[in-house]
Amino acid sequence: MAGAALGGRAVAAPVASTGLPSGAHVSALVIGTGYGGSVAALRLAQAGVDVAMVEMGMAWDTPGADGRIFANTTAPDQRSFWLRTRTKQPLSNFLGFPIDKDIPRYTGILDAEDFAGITVYQGRGVGGGSLVNGGMAVTPKRENFGAILPSVNPDEMYDVYYPRANEGLGVGTVRPAWFDSADCYQYARVGRKQAQRSGFPFVFVPDVYDWDYMEKEATGAVPKSALAGEILYGNNYGKKSLQKTYLPRIAATGRVSVSPLHRVTSVAPAPGGGYTVSMEQLTTDGTVTTTKTVTADKVFFAAGSVGTSKLLVKLKATGALPNLNGEVGKNWGDNGNVMCGRANQIWDPTGSLQASIPCGGIDNWAAGGAFAEVAPLPTGIETWASFYLSITKNPNRAQFTWNPATQRVDLNWQTAWKQPSIDMAKSIFDRINAKEGTIYRTDLFGVYKIWGDHLTYHPLGGAVLGRATDNYGRLAGHPGLYVIDGALIPGNTSVNPFVTITALAERNIEKIVATDF
Ligand code: FAE
């Protein structure tokens, strides 16, 4: 097994703050440290392969001036946003007033990446999206799987890889008896009652939050995280992000280096075989201090749907990877995300204390094409608002293309393409409003604006399995290059995506380790 070596010196141990040395040669280089990248690195290292992980975001292992690693959702600061001078909060308004504020430019944890017709929220740092997400860990219903990944055998996914992913991620469910009595889930119980009164099934949604820890938060026995409103900018306690699951197992192999604040800019065939990987080292204000070049026998693209798609589209268009096929950049979707709030009757308060971790949803997928999470609005005051993130069967798909004039990658998604999502979400909320005699909130996304239709949390596709790659993520035209993240999934998973991303990565890496190394 080839080892990572620089002039004969192994560099597989955890890398110091300077990161991977320029000129290094590594067996396997993984771009990104989210779900796909973490699965790839763990399984390769367990098979005896030395791995270098390269991550553009920070390590998120050091407390800030307030003694905490992560900022609170209600008090965003420089740690909260990726290289912005003003916050861009998904809920931009409250009671109609804008709530964004100026912050110092910093390599913060949440990227609100703007394309012409949509803002795509993504996690930045070692752990990727697991650092910022709600932890909702949902395995799609088996009857929906054929539409999600048509070329993958469902038996192997549901018998082997979904169970492996759920175990590796530490997925659990709220204890129903506690849910029924906890103050912090009053908002979810209101959501359940209203769903059921309108004839919709309410389902508990599994999550990687440590549910025992949350129960202790409620008693005051431990420091609060979910009950302190932490979520979008990281959880200081309680949530089992990849920092608590796959990443410690990766470190324990002793075969994987991680280089934070390193952004990959190019991958091209190396003269002597393998690939030349170029990267920039960043300071926390985003300045590029160093550019480095390493060689790798094999390269795994795990930069997330947007990150991987942007790299591949650029590298094909600029001639660095000329043999990639025409499917690269295509079939990108937003998982049908759309948000809305409802104003409840005065006798239906949703609670001033709201756990930031959602634990239930309204399933109208089969009849109306929508699965709506009952989400918190952890403002600390009673709002009588119910808030929802819906995942819908939106059929629209967008394409990434290289723009030579701006030297950037564009995405042709249009805001109007959210209309099917709105219509599907209305299949739930129009009925609930009619039954309850209630109305939509119009003050959360602007002034008199009902729908949060400008964003997604769930980018998927751009290098789709069986199209841009073979049926295991091997990129067409360049042996030794792989895609192993959400870019493989063609735009929709019918539920929250990270369990499917993890399970698919587990499936693909098992085959790749067995046959390509
Ligand atoms: P991802 O986790 O995004 O990791 C990619 C990594 O690559 C990131 O760390 C990037 O910084 C890094 N990167 C990108 N470009 C480069 C480059 N050029 N060089 C070096 N590094 C690079 O990818 N999903 C759920 O299932 N349940 C939820 O409750 C949920 N809630 C969410 C809430 C929010 C606010 C957000 C933003 C997302 C949420 N998601 C949720 C989505 C989920 O986090 C996302 O699907 C996965 O993280 C995607 O996994 P990947 O491995 O594809």
Domains located in the chain, CATH noted = 25-516 (3.50.50.60)
Kindly state if the Cβ of 36 falls inside 6 Å of ligand 1.
Answer: yes
Kindly state if the Cβ of 310 falls inside 6 Å of ligand 1.
Answer: no
* Residue among 30, 35, 81 to mutate when testing ligand 1 (max atoms within 8 A of CB): 35
Q: How many Cβ atoms are within 10 Å of 404's Cβ, its own excluded? A: 9
Kindly state if the Cβ of 472 falls inside 6 Å of ligand 1.
Answer: no
How far away, in angstroms, is 130 Cα from ligand 1 center?
Answer: 7
- 478 catalytically annotated: no
Cα atoms found within 13 Å of the Cα of residue 350, Cβ hemisphere only: 27
Q: Quick check: 512 and 473 in contact, CB under 8 A? A: yes
How far away, in angstroms, is 6 Cα from ligand 1 center?
Answer: 31
Cα atoms found within 13 Å of the Cα of residue 166, Cβ hemisphere only: 16
The residue whose CA is least distant from atom 3 of ligand 1 is 304
pLDDT at res. 18: 79
The residue whose CA is least distant from atom 33 of ligand 1 is 133
Rounded to an integer, what distance in angstroms lies between the CA atom of residue 82 and that of residue 426? 33
Kindly state if the Cβ of 55 falls inside 6 Å of ligand 1.
Answer: yes
Distance between alpha carbon 453 and the CA centroid of its chain, in Å? 18
Which ligand 1 atom lies nearest to the CA of residue 496?
Answer: 26
How far away, in angstroms, is 128 Cα from ligand 1 center?
Answer: 5
- 262 catalytically annotated: no
Kindly state if the Cβ of 134 falls inside 6 Å of ligand 1.
Answer: yes
Write down the catalytic residue from 458, 478, 506, 510: 458
pLDDT at res. 3: 35
Residues 6+ apart with CB under 8 A from 383: 350, 377
Kindly state if the Cβ of 497 falls inside 6 Å of ligand 1.
Answer: yes
Name the β-bridge partners of 264: 279
Q: Quick check: 135 and 207 in contact, CB under 8 A? A: yes
Kindly state if the Cβ of 335 falls inside 6 Å of ligand 1.
Answer: no
* Residue among 38, 39, 53, 55 to mutate when testing ligand 1 (max atoms within 8 A of CB): 55
Each of the 517 residues of the chain gets a pLDDT tens digit; together they read 333 333 323 333 444 457 999 999 999 999 999 999 999 999 999 999 999 999 999 999 999 999 999 999 999 999 999 999 999 999 888 877 899 999 999 999 999 999 999 999 999 999 999 999 999 999 999 999 999 999 999 999 999 999 999 999 999 999 999 999 999 999 999 999 999 999 999 999 999 999 999 999 999 999 999 999 999 999 999 999 999 999 999 999 999 999 999 999 999 999 999 999 999 999 999 999 999 999 999 999 999 999 999 999 999 999 999 999 999 999 999 999 999 999 999 999 999 999 999 999 999 999 999 999 999 998 899 999 999 999 999 999 999 999 999 999 999 999 999 999 999 999 999 999 999 999 999 998 988 999 999 999 999 999 999 999 999 999 999 999 999 999 999 999 999 999 999 999 999 999 999 999 9
Helix axes 498-516, 162-169, angle to 10 degrees: 110
**Which residue in 67, 102, 106 sits closest to 88, CA to CA?**
102
How far away, in angstroms, is 415 Cα from ligand 1 center?
Answer: 22
Kindly state if the Cβ of 206 falls inside 6 Å of ligand 1.
Answer: no
H or E stretch at 276: strand 275-282
Is this structure's pTM higher than 0.75?
Answer: yes
Q: Where are the alpha helices (DSSP H) in 293-348?
A: 304-317
Residue type present at position 464: V
How far away, in angstroms, is 10 Cα from ligand 1 center?
Answer: 30
Kindly state if the Cβ of 299 falls inside 6 Å of ligand 1.
Answer: no
Maximum separation of any 2 CA atoms in the chain, in Å: 73
